[in-house]
A and B are shown apart, each in its own frame.
Chain A
Amino acid sequence: MTERNGARPQLPLGLAKRGYSGVIQHLAAGDAGSSLSAIELESRLIELGFVEGARVEVLHEGIVGRDPIAVRVENVTIAVRRREAMAIIVA
């Protein structure tokens, strides 16, 4: 699962289901519809370890609208709402 697989479809992490695991391809902070500016959102995501090539896995989901999600990023667990996770493109 650590290898980058060109055949796998890319999708925003915000749409991933519980149990999904993949690798971050790039960040698209402008498309997320977050209330933060694209620059601020991207900075925060990077500070929490969401950078290209990092392995991610969706561990848990909240009860209302399966939101927020708890994501394992390498060996750290980060809680994030799906709206912001839309900025993280994985495959």
Chain B
Amino acid sequence: MEAPLMHLALVGTPNSGKTSLFNALTGSRQKVANYPGVTVERKEGSFVTPLGRQVSLVDLPGTYSLRGRSPDEEITRDMVLGRTPGEAVPDLVLCVADATNLRLTIRLLLELKSTGRPLMLVLNMFDIATRRGVTVDVARLSEALGMPVVTSIAVRKGGTADLLRQTDTIAAQAPAPLAQNLWQPLTIAQLRATQREADRIIAATVSLPEKPDTWTARIDAVVLHPVAGLAILAVILFVMFQAVFAWAQPLMELLSSGFAALGQLVHDILPAGLLQSFLQNGVISGVGSVIVFLPQIIIIFLFILLLEDFGYMARAAFLMDRIMGGAGLHGRAFIPLLSSFACAIPGIMATRVIDNRRDRLTTILIAPLMTCSARIPVYTLIISAFIPAKQIWGWVSLQGLVMFGLYAAGIASALGVSFLIKFFMWRDYAPAPFMLELPDYKMPRARSIAIGVYTRAKMFLQRAGTTIFSMMVLIWFLASFPLPPAGAQDPAINYSFAAMIGKAMEPVLAPVGFNWQIAVALIPGMAAREVAVAALGTVYAIEGGKEAAEQIGQVLATKWSLATALSLLAWYIFAPQCASTLAVIRRETGSSKWMAITFAYMFALAYAASLATYNIAVALGAG
């Protein structure tokens, strides 16, 4: 008879290595969803113990206590207490601790004990602890805490063997009668008492080295230096954007020529007509022109995950706290805003780490101004078509520099908007506190990073395959029908629905230098920004035949003035964000009001910026 599925829950303080342990135990067998009604990410995975027991493992949000200060922390508390409707009560709660840093976890563990749940302490990163001279008397610690304690090295093969064995042992035992839940929110006196008790237990079972981690101290001496630290942060961001632009190029060209060849193949095999046009111009060139940006998205996520795992993100928040504070932002907003460079959606969801409602709202409102990866296709296309590929000062690529400037403009406008929000809406409120653990530096592990990048890339491709694909089909339809009358002289697209819509919008967009083809592309660009590129491709490919489809950029360079191109770049710094971002803002703020405000202010900024850019460029002779 098969043993029933065993439910395990992972809890721990932030930076305890919970995620790397979760990745080590479950590998790629992970499901990411949301808890019903809230936007807290629910990560579940599964594995099989050495004795063949099926285990389902839930990774709960990191927390220092069970007080439940934020939606994330409430989930952790309710899951441990078995109060979440529709969720299995965990058979065993694994409390993960960084073995080099037990103090805060042991206090949490003592609080967890009062819930009466079966507990096990996992001393993770045990190899690093040993190397640093931390020795833990595991047997005595287990006795003092009254629960099994295992050591683990999540990042090493076989590093979780001890944990798996102990899980089997616990699974084999007759389930202990559930102890009563005696947990209540702790008073300050109780909090203090648990921390004292934790310190007492640690003093009796753990011996710490005389000197703290020397590497962390040495790196921090430079990285947290008021001047050098900021310079390093600027260099890291600059390298990141150069990399996104330069390293991805060969791969992107490869993908691009691959899709072109595929389109040509379809063209040669099928007879000329609607089906051929649909597959070649609608499907292959449309979806292809978006998938081409996969290398850039992988690179940006690679950087973010590496910095996160290394322990640098908390330092960046420390360095930026007061600087961002000048613009009315909280230091903790740095991480969500940095994630917004990849995509505003995870960025807005990451604002949950900000527990003050006003600070969080400000961050959500400006997150879409950070240049998300979906704008990269638009920027890349226009930059490579209009900005000469030359080096200045011998080593800086001019195209990379323009890209950097666009990112900088996004950041500057975000800070400006935040300042205005703080000044006009919330000037009477004292700033919320900033308290953040700066974890010791850890060498990022390839496997954990790979799983993270893989998950993100998969999400991007799924979007390309669904939202973007259906938009492309719609655009192709609008650009192809109605068919031109027999004997028509103009290109076929001039008779289509797309042309009608574009021309209707032209009077509004003419002052900013946009022609009707751009107007046509802006509409699907609302569904997802990167679609605008594909849409331009479709519009011009259908207009100019297959030669034009091969190089959208070359076509644009002949059709647009430099002023129009610059105006479109300016537009996209502020571009009213994609529909999914708006949907997430509504969900996270719980009201349509903030969604409408975001849309309106970004649209106004985009129009104003384009208007100014276009007119200045024309005045300077670029019209």
Q: Return chain A residues, CB-CB under 8 Å to B104.
A: 47-49, 76
A74 and B103 within 8 A (CB): yes
- Report whether A80 and B434 are in contact in the complex, using a CB–CB cutoff of 8 Å: yes
CB distance from B442 to the nearest CB of A (A): 14
With a CB–CB cut-off of 8 A, which chain B residues contact A68? 318, 321-322, 331, 434
B229 neighbours in A (Cβ, 8 Å): 63
**Are the CB atoms of B321 and A81 closer together than 8 Å?**
yes
Q: Is B431 in the interface zone, CB < 8 Å from A? A: yes
Segment from B187-195, B529-537, B583-591 that makes contact with A:
B187-195
Say yes or no: B433 contacts A34, CB within 8 Å: yes
Kindly report which residue of chain B lies nearest to residue A48, judged by CB atoms.
B435
State whether the Cβ of A1 lies closer than 8 Å to any Cβ in chain B. no
Chain A interface: which of B138-146, B220-228, B444-452? Answer: B220-228
| Pair B226/A63 contact, Cβ less than 8 Å | yes
- Chain B minimum-CB-distance residue to A84: B433
Bitwise, A35-66 to B at CB < 8 A (1) or not (0) is: 11001011111111101101000011111110
**A46 with B195: in contact, given A63-B323, A79-B317, A81-B433 (CB under 8 Å)?**
yes
Q: Is the CB of A51 within 8 A of B434?
A: no
Also in contact, A75 and B437, with CB within 8 A (given A35-B431, A63-B226): no
Q: Are A41 and B433 in contact (CB under 8 A)?
A: yes
Contact between A49 and B195, CB atoms less than 8 A apart: yes
Q: Report the bound CA distance from A44 to B356 in whole Å.
A: 14
A63 contacts B435, C-beta separation under 8 Å: no
Q: Is the CB of B322 within 8 A of A65?
A: yes
Task: Give per-residue flags for B299-327: 1 if the beta carbon is below 8 A from chain A beta carbons, else 0.
Answer: 00000000000000010011101110110
Check if B101 is an interface residue, CB within 8 A of chain A. yes
Contact of A76 among B103, B230, B319 (CB under 8 A): B103
Does B430 lie within 8 Å of A34, measured CB to CB? yes
* Partner among B196, B432, B436 whose Cβ is within 8 Å of the Cβ of A78: B436
In the complex, the chain A residue whose C-beta lies closest to that of B185 is A43
Could you tell me the distance between the alpha carbons of A39 and B104 in the complex, rounded to whole angstroms?
A: 19
Chain B residues, CB < 8 A from A75: 100-101, 103, 208, 212
What is the distance, in angstroms, from A32's C-beta to the closest C-beta of chain B?
Answer: 9
> What is the CB-to-nearest-CB distance from B189 to chain A, in angstroms, rounded to a whole number?
10
Closest to A71 in B: B438
Note all chain B residues with C-beta closer than 8 A to A45.
435
CB nearest to A61 among chain B residues: B226
Contact among A41, A42, A79 for B436, CB-based, below 8 A: A79
Asked if residues A35 and B322 are in contact (CB atoms below 8 Å), the reply is no
Assess A60 versus B224: contact at CB under 8 Å? Given A41-B433, A47-B107, A79-B318.
yes
- 5 nearest interchain CB pairs? A63-B226, A64-B322, A35-B430, A60-B224, A47-B64
* Known contacts A60-B224, A68-B321; 10 further A-B pairs (Cβ under 8 A): A35-B431, A48-B104, A48-B435, A59-B217, A63-B230, A74-B199, A77-B437, A79-B317, A80-B436, A81-B434
Q: Which residues of B contact A (CB under 8 A)?
A: 64-65, 67, 100-101, 103-104, 107, 186, 188, 191-192, 195-196, 199, 208, 212, 216-217, 220, 224-227, 229-230, 314, 317-319, 321-323, 325-326, 331, 356, 429-440
Query: 13 A-B pairs, CB-CB below 8 angstroms?
Result: A41-B433, A44-B435, A46-B192, A59-B217, A60-B224, A60-B225, A60-B318, A63-B229, A64-B323, A74-B199, A79-B321, A79-B438, A81-B435
